[in-house]
Amino acid sequence: MSKSLLPFFLVIFCLSTVFSQNTPDAVKRKIAPDVQSALKQENKVNILVIFREQADLHNANQIHGKAAKARFVFDRLQQTAATSQANALRIARASNAYVNSFYLVNALAIRHANAGLVENLAQLPEVARIAADPEIPFEQPDVSLAPVAQRGAVEWGIEKINAPAVWALGYTGQGITVAGADTGYDWVHPAIQPHYRGYNKSDGSTNHNYNWHDAIHEISPLSNDSIPDPSNNPCGVNSVVPCDDNNHGTHTMGTMVGDDGNGNQIGVAPGADWIACRNMERGNGAPSSYIECFEWFLAPTDLNGENPDVLKAPHVINNSWYCSVSEGCTDLSVNELMHTAVNNLRASGVVVVVSNGNKGGLGCNATNDPPAYFEESFSVGATESNDTITGFSTRGSVQIDGSGRMKPNVVAPGAGIRSSIRNGGYAHFWGTSMAGPHVAGVVALVISARPDLAGEVDLIEDIIEQTAVPGYDTVNCGNVSGMAHPNNTYGYGRVDALGAVMKALMLTPVTSPGASPVDVTVWPNPVLDEAIFSIKNYTGKFTVQLFNAAGQLVYSVNRETANPDAVFQIPMQNQAPGVYFWKITTAGPLRSGKFVKR
């Protein structure tokens, strides 16, 4: 073929590709069946417009320092959204529709879109899919609202995970910000008000900018009001002060940080500050409200939703909610949108803790609701006071995506947990919703003991998993024995705050943001006879250590390389099948990870 004809054929090929995306059938396939069905039944529908282009964040894990990670991720996400959303925003705004633009996941949430708008958006080649944004009811935990004495004692769950022993070492979560996305928060409750980041304890002044966001902009039809008026909700909509319309959120925050100074020690990390976002209206949420809170946590804004600041982002987010498949989250493209949100938050240096769900009655392989089933979510099951699993705690494995992934990651106290509720009260709740906040509190304690771990999400999660107290079960789930460690009932076990903090204190300091990144890759995974390590961007001496799932050192070797792109092997033929954790200590940064021996 003549070289002079190549540009011509390339142009024709590119044009044909674009046009093939915009044939009537191709356009229709972009529109989710439930959106098409809803438009046939009513004039308007709430939709999510998902764009093809997604930001490339793979280099984020080579950046150290939480602020540097967050700035890199924020800038990349904003650039991607700005270049791909322009046409869709112009069309949507011309129709006078309510539009919420998300950069965290490169999508638009549009309220009350008509058929013409949906079709016009679907014709854009940059649009990958138009999905429904359904209202979703929240499964409430079991609750005991009987009067609870104002007792002066550390709660059993706090004692069980050894948090007081960490406090005795001087680590209470000081300097750390935890966050919650939930039904809202009664910020003036005496157990949590002193710990609210927007509250100045010295003079009693408040500043809710960058500390609170309300993602509820209208009344949910699932609230079944005869007239959907904001006055029906005790918090209204678009609240400019933290408010809880349900009790659930206030209860979870109490478990993270609660301490009224008068003996009510209900929180794991009472020295930490908290910020929050309401993502449910009287227990009813939607994918768009969940994503809006996730995005706000990446770079909190002022009360006008302006001037985002990644330096105000939390270190850990508790998510005691899920978007149930049985209740509306049936479109896997929407699930993947939330998956992207979790991935991008983690890339920015934020630990995402998620309750694993209360579907223990379904037996094995029941962890199938987002965001609990995502690999990147740190999912938490619930235990009784004797360290046995609760009957309601959802078991793995994950089947919805065909992965067979093990879940939960860990377990924590979740039965009869006494914590704060609205109007200054206290109550006992049961659920994995109560277990997750214990783990978020442990994250705060670990980082307060080792501030250089801030932003090192994988390492923090590994520490908590490696130091958890193993749990065993007679039930085998997901082709994994209940007597194996980890397993699909307890994960790696019940969290141990003291063990996690002590392990963190023994780690080599994490590299500073300005240091050259050391990149370590391990393959294959799972391994058979040997694990092959590739270490790049480093020359000099280093130590390789391998630990089994019980935390026992099973292999250690000192090595030295003059090659900045070195490869070496660790023999595994004499090691038992299971999960192994590796740690490479260099003169500068520490690297760690895990793999499976088959």
Active site residues: 182, 248, 433
Q: What is the DSSP annotation of 179-238?
A: EEEESB--TTSTTTGGGBTTB-TTT--B--TTTEEE---S--GGG--SS--GGGSTT-SS
Separation between Cα atoms, residue 200 and residue 580, nearest integer Å: 46
Alpha helices (runs of H) in 21-176, residue ranges in sequence order? 24-30, 33-41, 66-94, 115-122, 156-160, 163-168
Retrieve residue 416's tokens. 């009869």
Structure tokens that stand for 534 in this block: 């590739």
User: What are 264's two structure tokens?
Assistant: 């009510």
- Amino acid 366 reads A
State the CB neighbour count (10 A cutoff) for residue 553. Answer: 10
Tracing tokens 């943001």 back to the chain, one arrives at 513
Q: Are 393 and 366 in contact (CB under 8 A)?
A: no
| Gap between the Cα atoms of 84 and 67, Å rounded | 26
Tokens for 577?
A: 């099948």
351: helix, strand or coil? strand
Q: How far is Cα 183 from Cα 192, in angstroms, rounded to an integer?
A: 16
How many CB atoms are closer than 10 A to CB 25? 7
Determine the 3-state secondary structure of 452 from DSSP: helix
| Cis amide bond preceding 164, omega within 30 | no
The residues that bridge with 566 in the sheet, in sequence order, are 535
Report the helix count and the strand count for the chain, using DSSP H and E.
13, 25
- Report how far residue 339's alpha carbon sits from residue 377's, in angstroms, rounded to the nearest whole number: 9
What residues contact 347, with CB distance under 8 A and at least 6 apart? 57, 60, 61, 69, 73
Q: To which H or E segment does residue 411 belong?
A: strand 410-413
376 and 346 Cβ atoms separated by less than 8 Å: yes
Q: Which residues contact 127 (CB under 8 A, 6 or more apart)?
A: 30, 49, 50, 51, 52, 88, 121
CB-based contact 323:289 (threshold 8 Å): no
Helix, strand or coil for residue 264? strand
- 3-class secondary structure, 483: coil
Contact criterion met (CB below 8 Å) for 407 and 379: yes
Name the token pair of 104: 């965290």
- C-alpha 279/C-alpha 286 separation (Å) is 8
- Among the listed residues 116, 78, 79, 109, the one whose alpha carbon sits nearest the alpha carbon of residue 94: 116
